Amino acid sequence: MKALQRRTGIALWRQVADEIRQTVIPGLAANERLPAEAELATRFGVNRHTVRSAIAALEKEGILRAEQGRGTFLNDRKRLRYPIGRRTRFSSGLEDQARTRSGKLLSSETMPAPPDVATALSLPAGAPVIQLSTLSAADGVPISAATSWFDAGRFSEIAELYAETGSITASLARLGVDDYTRKTTAVEARHASSEDLDRLALSPGAIVLLTRGIDIDSDGRPVLYGESRFAADRVELLIDNRAAENPA
Amino acid sequence: MKALQRRTGIALWRQVADEIRQTVIPGLAANERLPAEAELATRFGVNRHTVRSAIAALEKEGILRAEQGRGTFLNDRKRLRYPIGRRTRFSSGLEDQARTRSGKLLSSETMPAPPDVATALSLPAGAPVIQLSTLSAADGVPISAATSWFDAGRFSEIAELYAETGSITASLARLGVDDYTRKTTAVEARHASSEDLDRLALSPGAIVLLTRGIDIDSDGRPVLYGESRFAADRVELLIDNRAAENPA
DNA sequence: GAAAATTTGTCCGTATGTATG
DNA sequence: ACATACATACGGACAAATTTT
């Protein structure tokens, strides 16, 4: 165990909280007791007060629960498994993991396509595209904030349809796209921006998984280019490679 | 723009640094000048000294460079694109992005299989497995720290072979596995543990992309189960879904 | 070339947050 | 709850280097 570091802009109590999340909790069953504060303090080489701050933070996040005289216990919560494959859709794939799923339209805008969007959608640079900002939630908990771009010529009514249905799949179906599949997906991880903190109800320092992908219709024409930002502590991305080949 | 938050255990200067990384830098070309410190301070609603701390940190990471009287400039660096597909291997897929790739054996150990490893490898619980801890680097920069498990009965010499070749693919080839493919990959993102900080030479608060995957041979038998931890600021994972289907 | 404006670098002091015992 | 030390954040003033007028 390497010593925790000081003067890094991350308070020690927060580093301890992250360490508890990653090295203590994985070894515990739900509702099992954590080692005593004093023991954790020794293990991490910090003062007991610092461990208490860390536990208080994890309690506020709903991960732990401290009971006077008894100890601190692990609450039962698990990450959503979000499948990424050819048929990546928010609505399906989570049915068995959450009672309710919702999609909310935050904003929409028609604009000239930025270079990367134009490339992804095979449109000439500056062609009009519709940008949709959406927020997806499962059981009322925000899961991902997405920005999607569509060819404005082909899908002019997409914003109204999404606002009505809360589903990309349903909106596209009404516009004559009965099926679409994912071509490629790129995954990155970064610290949440202040906008992420706001939309996904995260606390500073939180992590977002950022995916960028292109969906194509059955003719191979690009339908949408999208970037999604997932709350990393609420999901894992499950990638099925059973029949995928690497690009050359 | 939401206001940055205080008393969260994440120093303001660090939040500003993350905000610069995500909202200022993406709009800049290489070697382009950033807005002046005073302007950034106004934009983020903090003191100029706080912006200076943030810039100092990004400078130490090699991302920015400040010049007295002239301004602060963006250095030219980009993320490695790491392909994940059926033929996921460290050695190939990065040839055109890094001059040298290396794999180092950190430790190896024979142990009874933990439950999840036994399941992944289709072995009875507690069957002997070999655990390999390895570190992969590109151009001398650590990229990922991996832990892999192998059936000890079938691959007893894997540790010695890896130490010699620095490559899983090469080691397996010598043990009669001429080809293997990735079955599934799960991706998560978390804060770097103190072990990650040490192995990947990261600073606290850094992010790791964690992938867990199973590789199978041409007969469909599991060959290895592995967990890799990537330095998130050095790579993006590129997933090809061209022929993948989602699990039911 | 000289003066003004701009931008980063350094120093002072003070208040609050973090970490220890 | 108390006391102590260090890190963080703010505000202001001025110096040093560079570009613009």
Judge whether B99 is closer than 8 Å to chain A, CB to CB.
no
C-alpha distances in Å from residue A91, one per residue of A85, A101, B166, B190: 14, 7, 43, 25
Contact indicator for B236, A186 with CB cutoff of 8 Å: yes
Q: Report the CATH fold assignment for A12-74.
A: Arc Repressor Mutant, subunit A (1.10.10)
- DSSP letters of B107-166? EEEEEEPPHHHHHHHT--TT-EEEEEEEEEEETTEEEEEEEEEEETTT-TTHHHHHHHHS
In this prediction, residue A78 carries a pLDDT of 82
Helix axes B48-60, B12-19, angle to 10 degrees: 70
Q: Does residue B36 reach within 7 angstroms of strand C, measured from its CB?
A: yes
Predicted pLDDT of residue A26:
82
Q: Hey, is the C-beta of A116 within 8 angstroms of any chain B C-beta?
A: no
**For residue A247, what pLDDT is reported?**
39
Residue B147 · residue B227 · CB < 8 Å: yes
pLDDT of res. A3: 66
Structure tokens at A237: 């991305």
Q: With CB atoms and an 8 Å threshold, state whether A240 touches B232.
A: no
pLDDT at B245: 46
Give the Cα separation of A43 and A206 in Å (integer).
Answer: 24
The strand pairing partners of B74, in sequence order, are B64
Residues by CB within 7 A of strand D: list them.
A 6-9, 49; B 6, 11-14, 46-47, 49-50, 53, 67-70
Q: What's the pLDDT at A189?
A: 95
CB B229 within 8 A of CB B190: no
**B80-245 to CATH, choices 3.30.2310.20, 3.40.1410.10, 3.30.70.20, 1.10.287.130:** 3.40.1410.10
Angstrom distance (rounded) from CA A42 to CA A58: 19
Q: How far is CA A232 from the centre of its chain?
A: 5
* Residue A127: HSE in the Cβ half-sphere, 13 Å Cα cutoff: 16
Pairing state between β B80-84 and B235-240: parallel
Per-domain boundaries in chain A: 12-74, 80-245
pLDDT in tens, chain B (248 residues): 566 888 789 999 999 999 999 899 988 998 999 999 999 999 999 999 999 999 999 999 889 999 999 999 999 878 899 999 888 788 788 888 999 999 999 999 999 999 999 999 999 999 999 999 999 999 999 999 999 999 999 999 999 999 999 999 999 999 999 999 999 899 999 988 889 989 998 877 789 999 999 999 999 999 999 999 999 989 999 987 665 444 33
Residues of chain A with pLDDT under 70: 1-3, 241-248
Residues A194-243: tens digit of each pLDDT: 899 999 998 877 899 999 999 999 999 999 999 999 999 999 999 876 65
Confirm if A183 and B241 have CB atoms less than 8 A apart: yes
pLDDT computed for residue B76 by the predictor? 83
| pLDDT value at residue A246 | 43
Q: Give the whole-angstrom CA distance, residue B117 versus residue B212.
A: 11
Q: Which of B153, B146, B73 is nearest to B112 (CA)?
A: B153
Cβ–Cβ below 8 Å for A10 and B237 = no
Report how far residue A196's alpha carbon sits from residue A200's, in angstroms, rounded to the nearest whole number: 6
User: What span, in angstroms and rounded, lies between the C-alpha atoms of A175 and A178?
Assistant: 8
Judge if the beta carbon of B220 is closer than 7 A to nucleic acid strand C. no
DSSP one-letter code for B7: S
Question: What is the predicted pLDDT for the residue at B96?
Answer: 87
Tell me the whole-structure pTM to 2 decimals.
Answer: 0.84
Closest C-alpha to A82, from A95, A100, A94, A99: A94
In the prediction, which pLDDT does B95 show? 86
Secondary structure letter of residue A26 according to DSSP? G
